[in-house]
Structure 1
């Protein structure tokens, strides 16, 4: 894979949070939210990232965005490492990397009009002023299915779906190349979810955008993604083409996740073997030795407790971290 095609590449990226223990907070320990993850995203593609709550997928997105400072590792944007850059040095990259947040209610300032919310980024990056700025805001509202009269209203006057459209317009305001979509549809009604996803796909075609799409909904991720990564307890356990992950899941955790996806055909659903995971999700503060999934895996052997499996390519473009392969 040539570097020209890779827009984003992360190498051995980790994000640990300090957790204080004891009365005097002397015994600090660390929550390993993202632990030694490596992947790349090609220009123009959508990489889906899935896993259960608390697996670290949103933390990964926020660390790539530099909303969280990485503990270690590299974040390469077009081959340039941005992991160690200061906030001031990050300003030109903030234009190129934007984020759509999960909660459209919490991510918009309730004291600002929609026009000011979208225009704030235009002002910060000095992209346009006066009449040109107004026209840009009107154009962005139209792009996301709203109209120019909406710019004088406040966020509380809109529905959840409309607020998320405003969030998307804000992300597009600075003409980014890469957008991190952090569960952008999970807070929306099911009837609205498909509309937002279809709009994101249309925008990708029109503007040549690249997405990291973080979500719970596996069927929606399959619909929008070119490739899918599966995370478990801070680790990437599987990564492959979207169809490959769905048709030939290799990691036992991926197999269990996919077995839980509802199937609309009752006859097919009846023959589908549901894989029930036993045991509790371990704590990222004190993860199991070796393979982190071994405490819930029916295939676990002695080596799984002693040695962490290597994340390796087992078929063309199909990577998995499991001692079975």
Structure 2
């Protein structure tokens, strides 16, 4: 069998959360947050993951890092399936797999100095001496655009953009290979967002990093991503190269998402027809049989209710899960 050139491969990954309705309840109910998702990311590339709030993007990222234990499926990192590894067995991979969290306010310990926050992962993995750790912290601060004397300050003394830079420095502390960027710019001012994204791109180029970039901002995702995956209610409905997806969206849900991107030119905006989706998003506790999007889809047919559609390659690695193709 030919070895895959992907750094990370996700195969049929699912994460269900158990809901207890009551003490006397015998039958368990589940929130199907991530349901049979598959994709891969090559070393040095970025996969953007987009979709509405609650579609399972963040849960996918956290499950890949095993912050949530997967319900089923495979997480193949550099040829090794880490899905079923225990905590002690995962420790070497914790260093290689890191995360930048969405909220720069909640993700930093307010009682620790910035130096201690960035240095903590180094101490956990016992990578270097105290003197080397201090030098490493100072280097990382300068690498993300902060001053070395910031190491002695506390998180509350920084702005949102600066805090996110601290979070990025913490993620880089143990020299990871793969980073899940969980909406790293959504809590920041628009003026700061481009700076942070440009910095992430520079770090990727210099350090050979591989990203899973989760976001709502579709224009920013296009800017940073090599490939883009679109999620709906726990399912991956379309995935393609970045330019291909924007030029030739196939799934009705993808078309609706892209139509919502603001266009600065008034004349172009007038020509760009906005697709308004009608109907309610189904519950992930009891998703409809068949295609989960069919209740909001203008092209829905009777067969869409019979079975869910697998991702089908329509050419050039462009895959879509839809009855139209």
> Which residue number corresponds to residue 179 of structure 2?
179
1 CA distance for matches of 2:2 and 2:142?
Answer: 37
Q: Once structures 1 and 2 are overlaid, which stretch shifts more, 288-297 or 26-35?
A: 26-35
Q: For residue 291 of structure 1, give the secondary structure of its aligned residue in structure 2.
A: coil
Deviation at 1:128, TM superposition (A): 1.1
Structure 2 CA distance for aligned equivalents of residues 310 and 249 of structure 1: 17
Cα distance in 2 for residues equivalent to 1:73 and 1:37: 8
Partner Cα separation in structure 1 for residue 17 and residue 155 of structure 2: 32
Where does residue 27 of structure 2 map in the other structure? 27
The equivalent residue for 2:283 is: 283
Report if aligned partners of 1:37, 1:236 keep a CA contact under 8 Å in 2.
yes
| Deviation at residue 5 of structure 1 after TM alignment | 2.1
Match of 1:231 in 2: 231
Residue 213 of structure 2 aligns with which residue? 213
CA distance in 2, matches of 1:117, 1:107: 10
Match of 2:131, SS state, is helix
1:157-306 correspondence runs (5 A): 157-306=157-306
- In structure 2, what is the Cα distance between the partners aligned to 1:2 and 1:149? 50
Look up the match of 2:39.
Answer: 39
Are positions 1:92 and 2:92 aligned together? yes
Number of aligned residues: 325
Shift of 1:22: 4.0
CA contact (8 A) 1:251 1:322 kept: yes
Match of 1:71 in 2: 71
TM-score, length basis structure 1: 0.98
- Residue 126 of structure 1: how far off its partner (Å): 1.1
Q: For residues 129-153 of structure 1, give each alpha carbon's deviation from its aligned partner in whole angstroms, at most 9, with x where no partner exists.
A: 1221111100000000001100000
Aligned partner of 1:11 in structure 2 is 11
Contact persistence 1:3–1:78 (CA under 8 A): no
Distance 1:21 1:27 in 2: 9
3-state SS, counterpart of residue 219 of structure 1? helix
Q: Deviations over 1:3-46 (max 9, x none)?
A: 45200001000000001124633332001000000100000000
Counterpart-to-counterpart distance in 1, 2:296 and 2:89: 44
| Paired position in structure 2 for 1:121 | 121
Provide the rounded CA distance (Å) in 2 between the counterparts of 1:90 and 1:271. Answer: 52
Displacement of 1:316 in angstroms is 1.2
Q: What secondary structure sits across from 1:315 in the alignment?
A: coil
Q: Could you report, residue by residue, the CA deviation over 1:215-244 in whole angstroms, capped at 9, with x for unpaired residues?
A: 000000000000000000000000000011
State the distance in 1 between where 2:65 and 2:283 align: 25
In 1, Cα distance between the equivalents of 2:135 and 2:100?
A: 22
Partner SS for 1:12: strand
Instruction: State the Cα deviation string for residues 240-260 of structure 1 (Å, max 9, x = none).
Output: 000111010000000000001
Deviation at 1:162, TM superposition (A): 0.3
CA distance in 1, matches of 2:27, 2:95: 40
Q: TM-score scaled to structure 2, two decimals?
A: 0.98
Aligned residue for 1:41, secondary structure, equals strand
- RMSD of Structure 2 on Structure 1 (CA): 1.1
Alignment partners' CA distance in 2, 1:268 and 1:23 = 58
CA distance in 2, matches of 1:7, 1:104: 28
CA distance in 1, matches of 2:109, 2:313: 44
